[in-house]
Amino acid sequence: MVRCSSFRHQSCVLGTASLLKMINNFSDFRLCHVLRFLALVVSVAVASGAAQAEISDDEIRVGLLVDMKSIYAHITGQGSVVAAQMAIEDVGGKINGKPIRLLHEDHANSADQVSRVAREWLYEKGIDVIADVASSPLALLVQEINRPRGAVVFYNGVMTTEITGSKCAPTGIHWMYDGHAFNTVLGGELTRSGAKTWYFVTVDNAFGNNVEASLSTIVRNSGGTVLGSVRHTLGELDLFAKLRQASASGAQVIALVNAGQDMINTVREAFDLLRVSKGQTMLAAVATALNDVHLMKPQLAQGLRLSHSFYWNMDAESRAWSQRFFERTGAMPSDLQAGVYSSLTHYFKAVKAANSDVGTVVVKTMREIPIRDPIVRNARLREDGRMIHDIFLLQVKTPAAVKEPWDYLEILRSVPGERAFRSVAEGGCPRLTGKSSSQ
C-alpha cells in the first residue's frame, strides 16, 4: 500500500457525478443526513484547495544530486552545495515563515545510484525541488522518474536538448547548459568568422551523440564542412591516436564533444599536435567550465574556444557574487555551480509569491516573475521548460594575458538568448504540440 505522504502534492477531488451517485445510493437517509454529508464533502474540498496554496509539510525541501567524486566533481560537487547554501541564506533561510532544508547526495555518475536516490527523495522524503543533476544520461533518467511526481527539477549541467524536446516534462527546467545554444554560438560564430572545416572527437553516449548531431547541422548551415568524427568511451585515458586522426584530416577546427576529465585530458594531449601548438588548427570545446581551464592551465589551453552562459568577471555584479563564493571555496564558480544559485534563487522567489511548493504552481509563477540575479542576463523561462539567456563566445587567454588569479577567459562576443537557443517549434516538445498525452 502506498502511503498518502508519498503523494502529498496530489489532491483528491470528488466529481459531481460521483457525489450524486453516492447520494442516490443512500436514498433511505433522511434529508438532514444528506445535507450533513454534503456539508462534510464541501468542507473537505475547501480544505484541500487551501492546502494546495500553502507549503507542504511546513518546510521547503531541496535536494542536490551532484557528482562529488567522479569526472564532474570539480565543476559541480561541493561547489554546487555551497551555491545552494548561499541561495538559501540570501532568502533568509525561510519562505513565508517556513524553513528550507537542504539535502545532497553523490550521484557517482551511476544510473543505479541516481535512480535509487531520486525515487527515495521524490516518493519517500517529499523533496520539493532537485537541482544540478550534471550528465545528460542521468538527467534524462531523473526526468522520467519525476514525471508522475511533478516536483521541480533544475538541470544546470546538461547539454542534451531532449530535456525540453522529445522528453520534456511540465516541471523539468533546463536552466544553464544547452547543447544547441552553445553549438549555435561556438559553431555558428566560428564558421562565419572563417573556420570552415571541422572534425569531431566525441564521447560515445547520449550527450555526445545529441550534441555532435546538433553541432554538425549548425556548422553546415553556417557555410562550413564536417570532414569526419571519431568516438571514445567515457573515461578513456589515451586519446592521442584519435586526436592525431582528427589533426591528419587538415580541419581548421577540432571540436571536442566531451566534458569533465575527458575534455581536460583531450586538451592536454592535443597540445602535442604540431598543428595545434603552432596555431594551424583551432580547438573548440562544447562543454567546458572555468574549473576545467584552471586544471588544464592556460599554457596548455591557450586559444581554446568555448561557450559559457556565465563568467565570474563579466561585470561588477557577477564579480561581487563570485568573490563571496571564492571566500567559501577557494575557487571561482563554474557555470553549473552558479546555475544552482540562480535556479534556486528564482525558485524561492516563486514559492514565496505563490505561497506554494506544488511543482506546477511554482513553475507557472516562475514564468510570470522576472528572472534577475548576479548570474544570468536577459533571461526568461519558456513554456517548454528552457530558460533563455545570453550566451558568450570566449577564448582562453595566453599566460601573459592573465593578470589575476582565475581570470583565464576573454569574452569575444555576447549572443542574445533569442538567437542562441532553438525555438519551441524546433524543439518539438510533445506536451506543447499535443503529439503524446504522456508528455
Helix, strand, coil share of the chain (percent; to 5): 45, 15, 35
**pLDDT given for residue 24 in this prediction:** 42
Which of 227, 228, 239, 233 is closest to 264 using CA atoms?
A: 239
Q: Can you point out the beta strands (E) in 263-335?
A: 282-285, 305-308
**pLDDT given for residue 293 in this prediction:** 92
Helix/strand/coil for 297 = coil
Query: Per-residue pLDDT for the chain (439 aa), expressed as one digit of tens each?
Result: 333 444 444 433 333 333 333 434 434 434 444 444 444 443 444 344 433 458 999 999 999 999 998 878 888 999 999 999 999 999 999 999 999 999 999 988 899 999 999 999 999 999 999 998 888 889 999 999 999 999 999 999 888 889 999 999 999 999 998 888 999 999 999 999 999 999 999 999 888 888 899 899 999 999 999 999 999 999 998 999 999 999 999 999 999 999 888 999 999 999 889 888 888 899 999 988 898 899 888 888 999 999 999 999 999 999 999 999 999 999 999 999 999 999 999 999 999 999 999 999 999 999 999 999 999 999 999 999 999 999 999 999 999 999 999 999 999 999 999 999 999 999 999 989 765 434 3
Which of 252, 135, 244, 234 is closest to 187 using CA atoms?
A: 252
Take residue 17 and report the three cell numbers written for it. Answer: 457525478
Take residue 114 and report the three cell numbers written for it. Answer: 541516481
Q: Class for domain 181-312+391-420, per CATH?
A: alpha beta
**pLDDT given for residue 160 in this prediction:** 85
**pLDDT given for residue 6 in this prediction:** 40
Q: What's domain 60-177+314-390+422-433's architecture?
A: 3-Layer(aba) Sandwich (3.40)
Q: Report the C-alpha gap between 83 and 229 in whole angstroms.
A: 37
Instruction: Give the residue extent of every domain in the chain.
Output: 60-177+314-390+422-433, 181-312+391-420
The DSSP call for residue 423 is P
**pLDDT given for residue 269 in this prediction:** 93
- Is the Cβ–Cβ distance between 123 and 96 less than 8 Å? no
- Is the Cβ–Cβ distance between 45 and 18 less than 8 Å? no
**pLDDT given for residue 439 in this prediction:** 37
**pLDDT given for residue 53 in this prediction:** 56
Helices (H), 26-61: 31-52
Query: From the centroid of its chain, how far is CA 236?
Result: 25
Tell me the pTM.
0.82
Reduce the secondary structure of 90-134 to three states and give it as a string.
HCCCEECCEEEEEEEEECCCCHHHHHHHHHHHHHCCCCCEEEECC
Asked whether this chain's domains 60-177+314-390+422-433 and 181-312+391-420 adopt the same fold, the reply is yes
Number of residues that make up the chain = 439
Q: Report the C-alpha gap between 271 and 182 in whole angstroms.
A: 23
